[in-house]
Structure 1
């Protein structure tokens, strides 16, 4: 026993790291894929040598995979933690360097997401024929009380533009406005510039207030029905492998017009068009239908009634519209008393001109049947029961598709596909607690989280099925030679 602890031995950084450890997979993956990218590193001038981009990627990806998101904690781990020393090849960046790296090279995380998907496709894990999309909100790094109203912004602009205002008017300003006046880290010109930015965001958002700390965030409804300052996060997930195909951050408070952009991002990452795209009722809009039809993609998007039927939440009232069944072949509604209400009238509502109908109003009724009905007092008020549908030709096509057994079976895969990654990102990676500000920074961090999720899932699949080293090498050779993938990633 060496009481004085004077003995020593030479050892490698990875001597005590298991062969199937995730860190080894991340190191090999980045080492093999990184040369394919044409990254122009900023070599800097005099002073300390520039930190190598490749090793910084390994360090940050591994840290986020472990749930370590604080740049200060990553800095400490890079100095003392053996696995972090192995992953980063011994570099010891400061927390400032880590933050700056994510800011300058964060756009590359999306490129790496694409590489994980191509890798999965080469291994035969999936063919990306069916992807599911969904949205959730991420809380912004801004208290819901730290917001400014439009009238208060205008008052402060007058104040900092040199207009003399009564002291009473200044004292009556709400606390966030007074806190801005009291800030010493900004001079008057900086405050005026910030106020003009806040004023611009008010006009762009159409909302009455704007957050002070994160001016690009918006008021949105959470699942509890409460308003909070947040971003709308869209994701596309492969139904077979459950790999995240794309992430996108939006300022729009609803999902109505988000399908085209998130599907485009997914297509760009998987380098192919999916055959099917499934989404919930929030995407049941003409914008979604037209995009899918123009790109020859089969959509699986139920309307509200179909969603209530799938989830067992139909109205308890037996004479509610939910219990009037639509016969697609006859184009007629069948009431609870088995009487038919045939199609009677169609009204087109135009958006721009008569060549482009925006919505079609379709009306169904059966006057004679309603007059002889014994339950007419329970069913309707007036002379007859009328069923009205606001739809379009593309919406009718979608409705007919969703009534088929094939599409119903395929749509059932969606809930177990797209919800799982979101649940992991929220519970394990704690995306709602991450202090991000601005759309770009938020998107970079979420892309990094999606990348770490994909790598962990790939590692799990490969570890139980393949020899990951050989397959990574084969994959890189193919994308470098056969696919001729050249990702020139220079910042503009």
Structure 2
């Protein structure tokens, strides 16, 4: 039976004197053209200066940068897979001009040449996009998310454990010396005591052990003590050196990973066992506008509160001036942050702890703690509080309290004159003395100012936009781009990697808008 089906012609074996151009195979508004167009307008002289003259020729850093950005836009993060795409994918061939750097060249460029230089390139791209109207640098929305480090999940160091181990060595040194004193007491003699028992310096620990050994030389001592001294001489100095190195690497942190010392153990919302356990990671802070990433920083602390000032300073350093408004959630509300934003004339729409609870209680007409300090009447002219019974509470002095960051807060104290026989005493306070309240007047003023801004029409609009602006960016990075774990190790290298992710995200947004 004859078939009437018409088959399309296969020209696989057809000879051609003029092979087709790759340009004909790339659509006009394809993302690869946008990557090429944007990065052609960027100054990469800082990368060019990192190369040395002489020897064999080098791939131009602009070409390698285009390859990496487009690879990240296509969710290709492995240097080997990028190398493979350069030989198989028409879009990569067109973008690279058919150059085929191997995976070592790509990896060395990403972790070496771009390290410390990429942020300026990213800022140039953001300024370019802002000039084209894709985003504004005047209003930013800040939030943070945690991304897992490329580190072993089960090899870690805890700061408390290091201090405990050091303290144990100190105590054992003292116990050994007490044994020496016991031996000499039996002979009615007194040994020369070592200068220092603190396990701080390996050399000092070694000298102390030597002095104990000298004091016991020629004495009839317990065999177990001799074994302990031999073990101490062999292990304690190197253990102290290890603890010192670990504490230096942690730089005030509570934990670190052994395979990536810059990573801190953080509790994340998702993990490979789906039970929210601790994992080594970095705290990504992002400023966005119109779902474009305007700025990014990486923190090694778990709390967002301590990251806002450094993140804002980085924004100012990158763009030469601060944003006009900054919106963030309750994780950033603190005395130090409010003060910094106010001093730099940044209009802040930043929530504080219990902001939503206050609104809910006011809506329901509930007051769970009617005698709390913030519910008492305050006369600013006389600097006096009044208790629920109308008794004046006068200022009895103040003190300065330092936060974990070293920020100083002035705390004023007020005490009632006489609480004896008061019918409300059991409800008002549980102290055996007259009631004392402590108030940070500066924070009270800043929170009142923040509340007024947050409840204004402009504040409500900013709060609504923050949810879909910055949180949508994190959703795209983690779920659409599949970036949940870094490929590189070390703070400087992962900063470059998250920068590539941020640039790829922005350019993808541009391609979707066209």
The answer to whether the 8 Å contact 1:136/1:233 transfers is yes
State the SS of the aligned residue for 2:291.
Answer: coil
Number of the residue aligned with 1:144: 153
- What's the CA shift for 1:4? 7.1
Choose from 498, 501, 504 the match for 1:449. 501
State the SS of the aligned residue for 1:433.
Answer: coil
| CA deviation map 1:132-186 (0-9, x unaligned) | 222222212223321256349x99x99xx9x9xx9x99xxxxxxxxxxxxxxxxx
| CA deviation map 1:226-279 (0-9, x unaligned) | 4322222211112xx222111111222222221111112222334432111122
**Could you tell me how far apart the structure 2 residues matched to 1:226 and 1:2 are?**
56
> Using a 3 Å threshold, how does the CA distance of structure 1 residues 432 and 21 change in structure 2: closer, same or farther?
same
The answer to whether the 8 Å contact 1:303/1:399 transfers is no
- What's the CA shift for 1:430? 3.1
Q: How well do the aligned residues superpose, as a CA RMSD in angstroms?
A: 4.6
| Superposed counterparts of 1:406-445, under 5 Å | 406=456, 408-409=459-460, 410-445=462-497
Number of the residue aligned with 1:470: none
**Could you tell me how far apart the structure 1 residues matched to 2:320 and 2:470 are?**
20
Number of the residue aligned with 1:213: 259
Number of the residue aligned with 1:24: 33
TM-score (norm 1): 0.71
**Could you tell me how far apart the structure 2 residues matched to 1:364 and 1:423 are?**
51
State the SS of the aligned residue for 1:141.
Answer: coil
**Could you tell me how far apart the structure 2 residues matched to 1:313 and 1:98 are?**
58
State the SS of the aligned residue for 1:348.
Answer: strand
Residue 349 (structure 1) aligned with residue 395 (structure 2)? no
Where in structure 2 are there 5+ consecutive unaligned residues?
1-8, 170-198, 210-223, 229-237, 270-274
State the SS of the aligned residue for 1:201.
Answer: helix
- What's the CA shift for 1:57? 0.8
| CA deviation map 1:107-139 (0-9, x unaligned) | 333223212321233223444222122222221
The answer to whether the 8 Å contact 1:232/1:249 transfers is yes
| Superposed counterparts of 1:82-481, under 5 Å | 82-103=90-111, 104-148=113-157, 150=162, 151=165, 197-198=245-246, 200-202=248-250, 204-207=251-254, 210-223=256-269, 226-238=277-289, 241-309=290-358, 319-320=368-369, 348-351=398-401, 358-361=409-412, 390-404=439-453, 405-406=455-456, 408-409=459-460, 410-461=462-513, 463=514
**Could you tell me how far apart the structure 1 residues matched to 2:397 and 2:287 are?**
36
Number of the residue aligned with 1:68: 76
**Could you tell me how far apart the structure 2 residues matched to 1:455 and 1:36 are?**
22
- What's the CA shift for 1:392? 4.1
The answer to whether the 8 Å contact 1:348/1:358 transfers is no
- What's the CA shift for 1:445? 0.3
The answer to whether the 8 Å contact 1:117/1:270 transfers is no
> Using a 3 Å threshold, how does the CA distance of structure 1 residues 4 and 257 change in structure 2: closer, same or farther?
closer
| CA deviation map 1:28-60 (0-9, x unaligned) | 11112246767325255434x211111111111
The answer to whether the 8 Å contact 1:363/1:387 transfers is yes
- What's the CA shift for 1:98? 0.6
Number of the residue aligned with 2:66: 58
Of 33-42 and 11-20, more deviation after overlay is shown by 33-42
The answer to whether the 8 Å contact 2:141/2:287 transfers is yes
Q: Of the two, which has the highest radius of gyration?
A: 2
| CA deviation map 1:393-417 (0-9, x unaligned) | 1552343332343253133322222
